[in-house]
Structure formats: structure tokens, C-alpha cells
Amino acid sequence: MNKLFEDASYVIEQIESKGFKAYFVGGCVRDYCLNRPIKDIDIASSAKPEEIQSIFPKTIPVGIEHGTVIVRYNQVSYEVTTFRKEDKYEDFRRPSKVWFVTKLEEDLSRRDFTFNAMAMDKNFQLIDPFNGRDDLKKLQIRTVGKPDHRFSEDPLRIMRAFRFMSVYGMNIEEETKFALKKNAPLLKRISTERITVEFKKLLEGEQTGKALQLMRNCGVFPFMPYPIEEICEGSLLSFDWSSLKSEEQRWAAVIVLTKVDDERDFLKLWKLPNKVIQSVLNILSSYKKTKWTKMDLYTTGLTEALSGLRLKCLLEDESFEEQASKLKQLANEIVIKSRDEIPLNGEDILKIKQKAPGVWVGQLFQELEKEIVEGKLPLSEREISDWVRRWGKE
């Protein structure tokens, strides 16, 4: 038995010993049925939050108003949520009101997709009132109840459908697809941060191209944080997304394939971290390069240069290994990897020049760095000191 399930079974046993019901629910049940790795485990119970707190010595009241308490056991957190029903979603995210119920099936009926509305008891007996297991076998995404209602409640479920399609290699059932397309404009009411989380997961999936192509066909792209209007014909499906090795490479590919004009603005509107933005921009700069100098490679860095090259080779159907080998060889010829490896620092420069600090120090270092990188000046403290003495006099 999976160690997480083993420990979580103990949590369920403790709840049951007090006369309450408890079941595994949500993603852990779905992934168990798909024989995929289990990352975390959620539990639904007839016990109310204060009753859960009275059973376990270590709990965290993360969302008592919505019935959720975290139970800590063996240094792992388990979310335990009381069976509940929900009222209308007034902010397209949270229900305006929740109330606790006694039946598991009522709790499962509020969930988004059928394969997320399954439960298991501690003996791994499946409770599946909406035929989620059949949908998993068919690799089909279908909502619980009316899809139009589910997507209008929380439009982020539209992005979740595409994410599941990409990650699990699934198809979206026709009625669900129709409602998804109809409700796509509601994505404008969802925070960028929530959309970005789902989109990043989509880009990591096994069927990224297929999911992006359907997003295009369903008219979802105009309602993204950066509206996408033009796409390289046929490229979303034919592009080998699985060959991309990092988040930054995937974002760079999206920009190229969707013909984004303002790359920096695109990345900022998705509210990505500045470090990620700069890395993506470096990759795109590398992608556009046709010839590399030592200084180009030193400034960009080998990792991002190779990322840009990989993207270029994938799009233009060229051999990556041969060109990467040449780039690595050029990198090996560069005697320093950063300015810190220069044997003189700022204080040494000031002593040699006998001048007050100023912007000239930065200018000198820039020129010195370039001389060393391009191989015009040996990495020798004596020769570098002589060069510094001559600097500004020639």
C-alpha cells in the first residue's frame, strides 16, 4: 500500500472510531484509478470541523468556515473537509454560502468533473455515483451535472478541463465542450494568477499541443491574460512539446508559436516572476541568433543559449546535437564564467589608478571583461594590472 494512503487510512480509522464517516476523495482517488503517483490526499467526512479538532492533537484550522481542517500525522498534512453543499458562486470562485450535509453523495455532487467526484473507503472500495471511472476508461472529461452550470459557477474549470486534457491525454465530451466554449468569456472575471497556475500545468502535460489546439478552436485564447489573436498554422499540434526541458522553454515556445509582438508585455501580463521573465527573454534572444560570438555566449549563458537553440531546431526541424556541440565548444574557450573570476576587484582598480570612485570603474570593468572573454587579454593578474594602468591613456 502507498505510504500516504497507509497513514491516511489511520486518520480515517480515528474518525470512524468516533462514529463518523470518512472517505478518500478528489485527485488522490482519480490518480489511484489511473495508477499514477499520489501527491497528496484529501478526506471528506461527516464530522464537523470542531469534531475533527477534538479527535486529533495536531490540526490547523485553514478553512473552518468552509468545513476544512488540516490534520497533521507523521509529518504529513491531510485536508479533512466536512460533507457540504454550496450556494451560488457570487464571485466566480467561492460559494456565497455553504452548509454541512450528512450524505457523501451530496458532497460529491458539487464537484467539477465526474472523475473528481469519486470517493474510496479505507479498504479502497470505490463510491462512484457519477460514473467517473467509466469516463476515465474512455479518457473523457465530463462535468458533474449540467456543464453550463458548472462553468458559470467557476469559469476556472474551463482551464482545468484543458489542463486535464493535456496532463492525462483525455478528450472533452461534446456537451461539456459546447458549454466550455459558451462560457469562455467569463475567464475575464478570473484572476490572472489562478489562470496562470492552470496554464503552466497544461504546458507540462503529455498532450500540450492537442489541448492548445482545442483552446484555439473553442475561442478561449482571446480571453487569456494576454489575448492571443494569431497562431502559426498547424504548429500547435505538430510541435514536439515533450522535448522542452523547462518552464522557461515552454513559455518561449508559446510566444513564438502564437506570434506575440511584445514579448515582455506578454510575460508580465501573465504575472510571471521577474527571474522567469528574464530567462524567457534570453531564450528568445538566443532563438533569433544566427551567429554566436564569445561575448554573446558569455552574456547570455550556455543554458539559455542551448534552450534557444533547442527551440529553433524543433521549429525548423534541424539537428540539435551537432549545433549544441559547437556552442559548448565555444563556451569551453571562454576562460571566465563570471566577473568574479577576474583576479582584480574594485579596490584593486582604485589603488592601481589612484583615482576616486566613479562611473569610470564600471566602464573599465565592462571593457576588461570583454577583453578577457574574447581572448585578447590573458587571465593573468600581472597582465591585467598592466592593462588597467594603460586604460584611459590610449
Instruction: Confirm whether residue 163 is marked as ligand binding.
Output: yes
Domain of 361: which CATH number? Answer: 1.10.246
Last residue of a domain, one of 138, 169, 191: 138
Secondary structure (3-state) at 48: coil
Ranges of the chain whose pLDDT falls below 50 = none
- The verdict on residue 19 lying in a domain is yes
DSSP letters for 325-366: HHHHHHHHT-S-SSGGGSS--HHHHHHHHT---SHHHHHHHH
- The verdict on residue 249 lying in a domain is no
- The verdict on residue 195 lying in a domain is no
| Residue 251 DSSP symbol | H
- The verdict on residue 298 lying in a domain is no
pLDDT at 233: 59
Task: Name, in order, each residue with C-beta under 8 angstroms of 5's C-beta and a sequence gap of 6 or more.
Answer: 24, 28, 32, 38, 41
- The verdict on residue 129 lying in a domain is yes
Domain that includes residue 30, residue range: 1-138
| Total domains in the fold of the chain | 2
- The verdict on residue 316 lying in a domain is no
Last residue of a domain, one of 120, 138, 156: 138
Last residue of a domain, one of 105, 138, 171: 138
Task: Name, in order, each residue with C-beta under 8 angstroms of 34's C-beta and a sequence gap of 6 or more.
Answer: 136, 168
Contact 217, 228 (CB under 8 A): no
Q: How far apart are CA 317 and CA 311, in angstroms?
A: 10
Q: How far apart are CA 369 and CA 256, in angstroms?
A: 32
Express each pLDDT in 302-335 by its tens digit: 999 999 999 999 988 888 999 999 999 999 999 9
**Considering the entire predicted model, what is its pTM?**
0.86
Instruction: Confirm whether residue 40 is marked as ligand binding.
Output: yes
Instruction: Confirm whether residue 42 is marked as ligand binding.
Output: yes
Instruction: Confirm whether residue 157 is marked as ligand binding.
Output: yes
Instruction: Confirm whether residue 389 is marked as ligand binding.
Output: no
- The verdict on residue 16 lying in a domain is yes
Instruction: Confirm whether residue 111 is marked as ligand binding.
Output: yes
Instruction: Confirm whether residue 94 is marked as ligand binding.
Output: no
- Conformation bin of residue 117: beta by default, left when phi > 0, alpha when psi is -120 to 50: alpha
Domain of 30: which CATH number? Answer: 3.30.460.10
Q: How far apart are CA 269 and CA 17, in angstroms?
A: 51
Contact 80, 11 (CB under 8 A): yes
- The verdict on residue 60 lying in a domain is yes
Express each pLDDT in 213-258 by its tens digit: 999 999 999 999 999 877 765 678 888 999 998 999 999 999 999 8
β-partners of residue 225 are none
